[in-house]
Structure 1
Amino acid sequence: MADGEGAAFEAYARTGQRRLYRTAYLLCGDVEGARDLTQTTLAKLFQHWHRASRADNLDAYAKTVLVRTFVAERRRTVRDLLAHNRNAPRPHPNPAPGADLRVTLLSLSCSGTPCTGPHARCPSSPTWSPARYGRATGGGPGPGRSRSRAPSSRSPP
């Protein structure tokens, strides 16, 4: 970078730093984050000063760089957080707290009370015959379609 370009950047950095800091503070919400974002933006402007100095509105160009830098850092933070959470070992549930519930559910399924509802299935207990299940649920001889019924009128796929 030539001395003239370096002096031009330095002059812009002295005058524009305060405006960039205000915008950065509005984006970040804290002093340290705003300082870091302002310095990163000025570093990027310095790196590409030959292009930035030719912009029609240098302040608008600098604020665009600032906002895009902010968004990129946020995306990176979220992506790193998601990657960390995906790779973190998941804790195994302790089987002791659910043991009482499991025993209760097992005793209910073998108690002789019929399961009702749209997705009820015949319990695997030998005390439930298909006929008993049908009488208890008000349906046919068992879960599912009886073989004696005619097939549905839907055509095969």
Structure 2
Amino acid sequence: MGLSTSLRYKKLSLSMNFNSATGYVIYNNTHNTITNIGQFSKGLNSDVKDFKTTESISDGVAASSRYLENGNFVKLRNATLSYMIGDVAGGKVKNLSVFVSGTNLFVITKFTGFDPEVNVDKSNNNYPSRNMEYIPYPTPRSISFGLNLGL
């Protein structure tokens, strides 16, 4: 799903673009392989929630429905706030405006991994790995400032 909106008040304008997805689960394979309770016996980090399960420290890494998580999310994909100053320098600079713009500003989700937009393909023997998260690179957040002008 997506929603875009533009708001304007006098010389100030704001445009935003949201996107979301609902109705699916993600297998958090990163949690399964990196922070499982078996890592504790090796002196590595483990998730405190793992100690509240019936699994033992000596258990190996195994697939479990415990690592299925809600994949629903809402993201503010883009937002731009700008202020129109107008003509300056005796009309030599026209339509001067300043802005701040951001990408991937926030995400609302219950998913505990890096990013609910799973973008890793770990297909095995032509079996796809859709909805499986495994050490993905998080979607970067960027903020930029700038000027727009005409001569």
TM over 0.5, shorter chain: no
TM-score by length of 2: 0.21
Q: Which has the higher helix share?
A: 1
TM-score by length of 1: 0.20
Q: Which has the higher strand share?
A: 2
